[in-house]
Structures are given as structure tokens and as C-alpha cells.
């Protein structure tokens, strides 16, 4: 069995004359958190869109657990184990936390468990809901209406809904954006727990958080991978520093 959860081979995406992603290749190992960083317009979100199947690459290939998924649409990629969490768009704000998780559990089990075995079906749903309430720390809020909770708790619920089908690959687009200062530590802890045993790609503009969460940093600029390595090495890399410094000077 391969320990490469996700692989990009020469992925290229063009919007007209602009190459948003330019021959990007990388192997993302299972059980690791990868921070994807780079200045505005570097191609980070476009890459996540390609991996999630929201956007087709013009060239190159994407492999998930060794299988070529380049031509797979988004809903099939979700079944193949790719989960993406980016905003609180997956939750129903007028429903409680438990109801939101129940819907995600129903979707997961509808394909495998017969509805007519109601007791077994309900037990499995309940087990999944309880496991996710525990993982996300949302048990004390299980009967709260999702839309009335703090933004940080809503993001935690969104992550819970994403994790419920047990994806092997987790794509996180700015998971800390909009979260209050006092909730950053708990959100960071949750991302660490969620990452266990998975391949995680994380786009995050909070540099302290991305450097402490990630085991490997991949740096993009103008659609290309310009560096990769351990957070400490990346922080002292001259090319990377000049890319960011250049941006700061221009701002
Ligand atoms: N649908 C689109 N049509 C045309 N150009 C696009 C489209 N989506 C992205 N781009 C362009 O592709 C380039 C990469 O954009 P992308 O959003 O992936 O960058 P990013 O690294 O995520 O930036 P940011 O950190 O600002 O979110 C940018 O120049 C952007 O303007």
C-alpha cells in the first residue's frame, strides 16, 4: 500500500493567457499536514479546486491513494475520500448542531445501511454523531441552533460535517479566517485532531498557525512550486523570504 495519499503530476490550469497553475507536482503523504502558502494570486485556491474536482486541469494528473482521479467529478471524489472544508456553507443555520450532524450521517449511511433495519440504522447514526460531537468539542452545544453560535463554533461544526464520511484526504481553505482571537487555539487543536491518519492540505494566511500546524510547507508563486520543506527551513529560505518581502514592499 502506498503512503502517498495525494499526488499532483505536472498539474497546469490556464485561464485564457494566464497560467494559474504551472506544472505543479508534489507527493502528499498520508498522516501529514501540508501548509500551502504563497502571495495573493499564487494559485493556492485554484489548486484546491482542482484537487476537489471543482475545476479541471488543462494538463497533468491527480492521483488519490494511487488511483488516477484526474477525470473524476467532485461528487465522485468525495466518495473516493476527498473532503473539503472552506466556509460554513455546509451547515443548516436554522437546525441544531446534532441535526446538522445527523443529516451528514444519513447521507453517509444511506448508501450502505438498509433503511428498513431502523434500529441498526439509528444506532449507527447515533454512534457517528456522538463521535463527531466529541472530536469537535461540540457536545455541550449539541442542542444549540447552529446559526446562533459563534463563528468559530460554526466552523467546528462545518469541519465535523466534512469529517463525518471519514475522508482520507482533507482540504482546508483558510480554516482560521474570521475566527475570533480567543477561539484560535481551540480551532488549531481541532485541526490537529482532525488530521490524524489523514493527508491534510491547508491554505492559511495566519503564518504562526500554519507554521505550527504543518509538518511540511509547500510554497507557490505565480502558479509554480518554488519551495517545499519543514517550516523552519522554509522560514529561513531566501527565495521564499524575497517573494513575501517583495509583496510587503509592494503593499
Ligand atoms: N475563474 C477564474 N477566472 C480567471 N482567472 C482566475 C479564476 N480563478 C482564479 N483566477 C486567477 O488565477 C490566479 C490564481 O488565483 P488563486 O485564487 O488560485 O490564488 P490564491 O493563491 O488562492 O490567492 P489568494 O491568496 O489571494 O486567495 C490569480 O491571478 C487569479 O486572478
Distance from Cα 40 to the centre of ligand 1, integer Å: 8
Distance CA(81)–CA(28), nearest Å, equals 14
The Cα-based distances of 151 to 185, 191, 193, 248 in angstroms read 14, 16, 19, 29
Mutate to test the pocket of ligand 1, among 17, 43, 50, 220 (most ligand atoms within 8 A of CB): 43
Question: Which residue puts its alpha carbon closest to atom 26 of ligand 1?
Answer: 40
Sign of CA dihedral 64, 67, 72, 76: negative
pLDDT score at 114: 58
Q: Which residue is associated with the grid cell 441498526? A: 120
Q: Give the ranges where 72-117 is alpha helix by DSSP (H).
A: 74-79, 97-110
Exposure string for 60-79, b = 16+ CB within 10 A, e = fewer: bebbbbeeebbebeeeebbe
Residues 6+ apart with CB under 8 A from 48: 36, 84, 86, 171, 173, 201, 203
Q: What are the φ and ψ backbone dihedral angles of 4, each rounded to 5 degrees? A: -95, 110
Task: Write out pLDDT tens, residues 3-54.
Answer: 999 999 999 999 999 999 999 999 999 999 999 999 999 999 999 999 999 9
Distance CA(225)–CA(243), nearest Å, equals 12
Task: Write out pLDDT tens, residues 76-132.
Answer: 998 889 999 876 677 999 999 999 999 999 888 776 655 566 777 788 889 999 999
Q: Which residue is associated with the grid cell 471543482? A: 54
Counting from 1 in the atom list of ligand 1, the atom nearest the Cα of 40 is: 26
Task: Write out pLDDT tens, residues 128-184.
Answer: 999 999 999 999 999 999 999 999 999 999 999 999 999 999 999 999 988 888 889
Give the CA angle between residues 88, 94, 95 to the nearest 5°: 90
Q: pTM value?
A: 0.90
Distance from Cα 201 to the centre of ligand 1, integer Å: 17
Q: Are 170 and 194 in contact (CB under 8 A)?
A: yes
Query: For residue 231, is pLDDT > 90?
Result: yes
Question: Which residue puts its alpha carbon closest to atom 5 of ligand 1?
Answer: 15
Q: Pocket residues for ligand 1 (CB within 6 Å)?
A: 15, 18, 20, 38, 40-46
Distance from Cα 58 to the centre of ligand 1, integer Å: 15
- Which residue in 213, 207, 214 sits closest to 240, CA to CA? 207
Counting from 1 in the atom list of ligand 1, the atom nearest the Cα of 21 is: 14
Sign of CA dihedral 16, 21, 24, 29: negative
Distance CA(156)–CA(189), nearest Å, equals 11
Question: Which residue puts its alpha carbon closest to atom 12 of ligand 1?
Answer: 20
Check: complex ipTM more than 0.85? yes
Amino acid at each position: 500500500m502506498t503512503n502517498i495519499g495525494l499526488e499532483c503530476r505536472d498539474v497546469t490550469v490556464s485561464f485564457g493567457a494566464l497560467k494559474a497553475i504551472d506544472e505543479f507536482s508534489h507527493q502528499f503523504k498520508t498522516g501529514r499536514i501540508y501548509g500551502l502558502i504563497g502571495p495573493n494570486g499564487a494559485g493556492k485556491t485554484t489548486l484546491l479546486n482542482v484537487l476537489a474536482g471543482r475545476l479541471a486541469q488543462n494538463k497533468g494528473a491527480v492521483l488519490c491513494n494511487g488511483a488516477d482521479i484526474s477525470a473524476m467529478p467532485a461528487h465522485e471524489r468525495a466518495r473516493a475520500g476527498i473532503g473539503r472544508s472552506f466556509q460554513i456553507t455546509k451547515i443548516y443555520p436554522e437546525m441544531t448542531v446534532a441535526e446538522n450532524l445527523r443529516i451528514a450521517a444519513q447521507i453517509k449511511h444511506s448508501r450502505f445501511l438498509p433503511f428498513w433495519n431502523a434500529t441498526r440504522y439509528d444506532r449507527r447514526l447515533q454512534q457517528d454523531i456522538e463521535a463527531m460531537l466529541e472530536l469537535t468539542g461540540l457536545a455541550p452545544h449539541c442542542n444549540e441552533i447552529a446559526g446562533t453560535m459563534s463563528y468559530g463554533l460554526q466552523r467546528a461544526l462545518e469541519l465535523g460535517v466534512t469529517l463525518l464520511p471519514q475522508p482520507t484526504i482533507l482540504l482546508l481553505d483558510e480554516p482560521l479566517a474570521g475566527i475570533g482571537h480567543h477561539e484560535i487555539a481551540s480551532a488549531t487543536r481541532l485541526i490537529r485532531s482532525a488530521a490524524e491518519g489523514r493527508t491534510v492540505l491547508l491554505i492559511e494566511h495566519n503564518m504562526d498557525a500554519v507554521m505550527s500546524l504543518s509538518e511540511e510547507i509547500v510554497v507557490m508563486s505565480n502558479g509554480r512550486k518554488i519551495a517545499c520543506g519543514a517550516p523552519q527551513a522554509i522560514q529561513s529560505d531566501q527565495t521564499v523570504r524575497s517573494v513575501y518581502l517583495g509583496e510587503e514592499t509592494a503593499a
